Chains A and B, each alone.
Chain A
Amino acid sequence: MVLSANDKTNVKTAFSKFGGHVEEYGGEALDRMFVTYPQTKTYFPHFDLSHGSAQVKAHGKKVAAALVEAVNHIDDIAGALSKLSDLHAQKLRVDPVNFKLLGHCFLVVVAIHHPAVLTPEVHASLDKFLCAVGTVLTAKYR
């Protein structure tokens, strides 16, 4: 799936509206993912995953920062996330299906906080963008 010029504009504009809150949204998306898809917790046996956990919030910030990095280099997401891609392939090896789950939860969080931003067109662009990020992160798996 290729991001059109329109998609890129939609994504950049949406993220600019999230502003500094995007870090919280990362944490919230993770929290919802752990509640809704409990199998995803298996990747975090070393974490306190209870609601409001400081570890989940911190990890959410990391996830959000990576998304922002991808937005800032939207013409070369593979380049921007190359190190993260290596990490996921060699060390973390999170099953690819889980990126869709987290992406979906992130969209839910966006819908809650910015319903007006999430027009159908922007929804489509963000969904494509999140798919692209997931694809990059799993690209070196085999």
Chain B
Amino acid sequence: MVHWTAEEKQLITSIWGKVNVEECGAEALARLLIVYPWTQRFFSSFGNLSSPTAITGNPKVRAHGKKVLTSFGEAIKNLDNIKATYSKLSELHCDKLHVDPENFRLLGDILIIVLAAHFARDFSPACHSAWQKLVGVVAHALARKYH
């Protein structure tokens, strides 16, 4: 089980409370596909991903980004049991989706940058650190059932 200090929990939940999940999720996924174009390999059914503009405007990217970040919200609601929260999703990503767990790390780092751009000075070093820990824990939980 991951140990979260009271301060870390507070920093995570206070930022999360102000996040527009749809916008932030869409942006994070779009940036992932733009900054690390090889991640597009998982989304051949998404239609036009031919340019940054196409990716940013792609409605499937937006919808999927929202889905992914909504799931993140589940982790935040269950900080003390993220492993269980993501157990089924981990199996899914391994057995059905065949996603290299390195991609979870990449998306986590992109999310951090999106939050930093949005929250600016409120994204203090302590806040950044708590969130970096969170994305690491989520990535680890999603990779946990891989075999």
Contacts and interface: CB of A to CB of B under 8 A. Distances in A.
Interface residues of A, number: 21
A65 interface: no
A21 to B, nearest CB: 14
Contact of A36 (B52, B118, B121, B128): B128
B52 A112 contact: no
Given A121-B52, A123-B31, A123-B35, A112 B123 contact: yes
Contact of A120 (B30, B116, B123): B30
Contacts of B76: none
B34 interface: yes
B117 A36 contact: no
Interface in B110-132: 112-114, 116-118, 120-121, 123, 125-126, 128-129, 132
A32 to B, nearest CB: 5
Task: Determine which residue in B30, B34, B123, B125 has the highest number of CB atoms from chain A within 10 A of its CB, and name it.
Answer: B125
A112 B31 CA distance: 16
B85 interface: no
A51 B116 contact: no
B109 interface: yes
Task: Determine which residue in B31, B55, B56 has the highest number of CB atoms from chain A within 10 A of its CB, and name it.
Answer: B31
A112 B34 contact: no
Interface in A102-127: 104, 107-109, 111-113, 115, 118-121, 123-124, 127
Interface of A: 31-32, 35-37, 51, 104, 107-109, 111-113, 115, 118-121, 123-124, 127
